[in-house]
Amino acid sequence: EAQLVESGGDLVQPGGSLRLSCTASGFTFSSYYMHWVRQAPGEGLVWVSQIKGDGSTIRYADPVQGRFTISRDNAKNTLYLQMDSLRVEDTAIYYCARDPQSDLTLDLWGQGTLVTVSS
Amino acid sequence: IVMTQSPLSMSVTPGEAASISCRSSQSLLHSNGNNYLDWYVQKPGQSPQLVIYVASSRASGVPDRFSGSGSGTDFTLKISRVEAEDVGVYYCMESLQTPWAFGQGTRVEIK
């Protein structure tokens, strides 16, 4: 069964850093684009970033451009999100999601990991 | 691209139909003929899950009471006969160009 499991969420002070991980299983990880989507408490979904299967194409949402870095290790079936210069407004549940590329959709989501930025 | 959903909430009697509208600020029609518009549902306490992709294709395992329609800038998600398990927040999302954009969400409750 295909599955995504996020980890790494924590409480961090403003200006701090955190690295999230998303471990994939049950499918050929390298064949899929992968995305990060976040959801602030009580709010809607916001797309954050995407990376192509081979890592050659990367995109970011404007609010995180220059502060967050998406990457992947296909040998470890793992997606990462390095988050630097964190702000209070980055507080959210962060979901990783799979994109089969053929239909540009998010057909599998993880359970999410909570990042809280607060002093 | 800005996505606008309506209504933002609805209360539906089991067995009745429900419709959610989603409008995009730009056409989502690609030159390949696909409209890159998805529908997701986030059930209480769960992660989002795909319901409809490319405007009208049902995701695997989604009951046939769910249907998607529309093209260009106007799209609709219809639930033909709402059941208790359909409660949640429904989001449309465009994937034609990054940054992908979600609608605000429509909360569906059962009367």
Quick check: A57 and A72 in contact, CB under 8 A? no
- The C-alpha atoms of residue B44 and residue A6 are separated, in whole angstroms, by 19
pLDDT digits (tens, 9 = 90+) for A72-110: 999 999 999 999 999 999 999 999 999 997 778 999 999
Contacts of A59 in chain B (CB under 8 A): 98-99
* Locus of tokens 């359909």: B86
CA-based nearest residue to B51, from A34, B15, B43: B43
User: What pLDDT, on the 0 to 100 scale, is given for residue B40?
Assistant: 98
Going by C-alpha positions, the residue among B62, B59, B104 that lies closest to residue B86 is: B62
Give me the pLDDT at residue A103, please: 75
Q: Quote the minimal CA–CA distance from B40 to chain A in Å.
A: 9
- Closest by Cβ to A104, choosing from B42, B95, B99: B95
pLDDT tens figures, A12-30? 999 999 999 999 999 999 9
Contacts of B57 in chain A (CB under 8 A): 103
Cβ within 8 Å, pair A44-B105: yes
Given CB atoms, is A104 within the 8 Å cutoff of chain B? Answer: yes
Tell me if B96 sits within 8 A of A56, measured CB to CB: no
Percent of chain A having pLDDT more than 70? 100
For B31-82, the pLDDT digits (tens) are: 999 999 999 999 999 999 999 999 999 999 999 999 999 999 999 999 999 9
